[in-house]
């Protein structure tokens, strides 16, 4: 898995749109990914591919993450992470999903949302350019199969959420206004062009 996609963290969303919020993915530090971490610290935008994965019941798959040094600071977020080497965003989306959830049988659709975000995680600041791909699967989540050392210290599980469950959730969920974004997606289908979610700095 790539260096920590930082759980797409940005402002908190508790339940529905009024209180909004976002991850990425955990990261151990392989030689290739140490450079990505240093670039993120230096302020360079890290390219990230994230997946809005829906099952046949229109439920969305989210991962549960937390600060390595403070498990009480936790949130739910979409699978995904940083690009490795010369791979495309599409390739990164498929790889990250497989590594984080074990799911490989997907229909990868268009990019539906985009956002620029900056946030603190694990003692450093992350600056990311995130693209969110719509994807569908009938394969159940199998569980992580290639977590890095940091991810093992900051990811604690997977869960499928219905739109109604997400709207009434009291837990922090990322990206910002995910409940509202999901309702719109299910009601209207994917947008003709990616929706800009706006920059978020925490």
Q: What is the pLDDT of residues 168-188, one digit of tens each?
A: 999 989 887 999 999 999 999
Residues 147, 139: contact at Cβ < 8 Å? no
Reported as a pLDDT band with limits 50, 70 and 90, residue 4 is very low
- Is 59 a domain residue? yes
Q: Look at residue 44 in the predicted model and tell me its pLDDT.
A: 85
- 3-class secondary-structure state, position 28: coil
pTM: 0.80
pLDDT of residue 121 exceeding 90: no
- Is 118 a domain residue? yes
Average pLDDT of 31-35?
41
Which residues are 184's β-sheet partners? none
- Is 39 a domain residue? yes
pLDDT of residue 155 exceeding 60: yes
Over the stretch 67-99, which tens digit does the pLDDT of each residue have?
888 778 788 999 999 999 999 999 999 999 999
- Is 180 a domain residue? yes
Residues 77, 43: contact at Cβ < 8 Å? no
Q: Look at residue 9 in the predicted model and tell me its pLDDT.
A: 56
- CATH no. for residue 111? 3.90.79.10
- Is 140 a domain residue? yes
Residue with tokens 């140490």: 34
Number of domains in the chain: 1
- Is 136 a domain residue? yes
- Is 1 a domain residue? no
Burial of residue 153 (number of CB atoms within 10 Å: 0-12, 13-18, 19+) = middle
Domain that holds residue 36: 6-201
* 88 Cβ contact partners less than 8 Å away, ≥ 6 residues apart: none
């Amino acid at each position: 898995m790539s260096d920590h996609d930082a759980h797409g963290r940005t402002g908190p969303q508790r339940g529905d749109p009024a209180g909004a919020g976002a991850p990425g993915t955990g990261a151990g530090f392989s030689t290739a990914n140490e450079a990505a971490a240093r670039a993120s610290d230096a302020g360079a935008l890290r390219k990230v591919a994230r997946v809005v994965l829906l099952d046949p019941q229109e439920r969305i798959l989210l991962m549960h993450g937390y600060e390595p040094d403070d498990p009480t600071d936790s949130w739910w977020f979409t699978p995904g992470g940083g690009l490795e080497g010369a791979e495309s965003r599409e390739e990164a989306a498929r790889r990250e999903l497989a590594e984080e959830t074990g799911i490989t049988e997907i229909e990868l659709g268009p990019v539906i949302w985009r956002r620029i975000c900056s946030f603190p995680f694990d003692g450093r600041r992350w600056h990311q350019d995130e693209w969110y791909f719509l994807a569908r699967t009938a394969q159940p989540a199998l569980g992580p199969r290639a977590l890095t050392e940091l991810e093992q210290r900051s990811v604690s599980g997977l869960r499928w959420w219905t739109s109604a469950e997400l709207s009434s959730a009291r837990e922090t969920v990322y990206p910002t206004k995910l409940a509202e974004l999901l309702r719109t997606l299910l009601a209207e289908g994917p947008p003709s062009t990616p929706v800009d979610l706006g920059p978020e700095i925490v």
